Amino acid sequence: MRNKILDILSSSQGEFISGESISETLEITRAAVWKQIKNLKDAGYVIEGQTKKGYRLLSTPCFLDQWALKKELRTNTLCKELYLFEELPSTNEYCKDLVRQGASHGTVVIAKKQTQGHGRMQRSWESPLGGLWLSVILKPSLNLGEVAKLTLSTGVALGETLRQLYDIPVGIKWPNDIVVEGKKIAGILGEVVGEWNTVHTLILGIGINGNFPRNALSPDLPATTLQDILQKDIDLNLLARELLRQLEKEVSSLEAGDSQGLLRRWTGLALGIGEEVIIQRANQIFKGIFKGIRENGELILEIDGQEMNFSSGEVSLRSEKDYSPNQSSRK
Ligand code: BT5
């Protein structure tokens, strides 16, 4: 009923629509209409009511809401199925259950808050209320090697979305940290599930620090939030929609075989290319020039004229100015 009222209000495109006409269309009492409108207002919808004219929808809430998110979703395959939770341990873990139950390509799971969000190698991911904690189930027409590139595609989609919506100087720190002025604002976790030989399923987890202050996170993290940067709350539904649209574009481009395009777009957003960087692998330190990445996402480091490749699982990258030399080093 709630969504039907929203459909009616939004279809009148800003014009007033009488309580009587809503009650007739939905075959409910005027009092029931009034109650639903009150609930919607309490949920953050701004609805103007005038005794003679009726109601009109002025704006949708900026916090996550299923109807508001799906309203202007311009995707073809992503988000046909949407699960939105007040709280989950982890949206990626929830997706794993859905995959076991046969969830389809493009299913999206969002939680307003996560209690056991995680990053790569089971590192913890802090996910307070106000962020966008989202996972997408993808079953793309790609072989396993290509599927792995989708985390690069997600970095591009995320970088483009944040630049276009908020005009902020985001960059990608290899392999896939999304950073503003040296501080992480979003992270990506891609997990391939399923057997060899079957359709490869990828769960793409994306976490964006949205409408909460920086101090809601542990003080030692080099992190920032959109609220801190923009000094206002943003519409999380719009952010999710635009991100899914950009992601769909990237998935299609990879399915069409355009790895070179992906590499070009990734490089355009990457931080530190051409600069001297430090790579730490276990206790070894490698210092060299960050030349870029290979098509498979490996980082190319030039050391004394020789190129070395590093894959993301095992190393961490720092620019030389961030490096504090009180750690064991060999090179
Ligand atoms: C990531 O891992 O950056 C991937 C994060 C993916 C989170 C999403 S949220 C939706 C989905 N459900 C999940 O359970 N996960 C995904 P990694 O590169 O391993 O970075 C993890 C490190 O980032 C931690 O060890 C902290 O140092 C730092 N960190 C933790 N929470 C953070 C936050 N909210 N903002 C910035 N940095 C954070």
Same domain for 13 and 101: no
Helix-helix angle 2-11:30-42, to 10 degrees: 90
Distance 142 CA to ligand 1 centre (A): 26
pLDDT at 14 over 70: yes
Strand-pair category, 108-111 with 82-85: parallel
How sure is the predictor about 297, in pLDDT bands with cuts at 50, 70 and 90?
confident
pLDDT tens digits for 257-267? 999 999 999 99
Pocket test for ligand 1, best of 108, 125, 212 (most atoms within 8 A of CB): 125
CA dihedral 7, 94, 62, 51 (to 10 degrees): 40
- DSSP lists the bridge partners of residue 13 as none
Same domain for 216 and 82: yes
Same domain for 312 and 202: no
Residue type present at position 3: N
Tokens of 5: 């009222």
pLDDT tens digits for 207-249? 999 999 999 999 999 999 999 999 999 999 999 999 999 999 9
Question: Which residues are CB-contacts of 193 (< 8 A; sequence separation ≥ 6)?
Answer: 96, 99, 201, 202, 203
Same domain for 212 and 79: yes
Q: Is residue 179 situated within a structural domain?
A: yes
> Can you give the residue range of the structural domain that contains 102?
66-269
Residue ID of nearest Cα to ligand 1 atom 21: 119
Distance 125 CA to ligand 1 centre (A): 4
Same domain for 188 and 262: yes
Residue 281 and residue 259 in contact, taking contact as beta carbons nearer than 8 Å: no
Burial class (CB in 10 A: 0-12, 13-18, 19+), 33: buried
Give the H/E segment covering residue 70: helix 66-71
Same domain for 238 and 289: no
- Predicted TM-score (pTM) of the model is 0.92
Tokens of 2: 């709630």
pLDDT at 147 over 90: no
Indicate whether residue 210 lines ligand 1 (CB < 6 A).
no
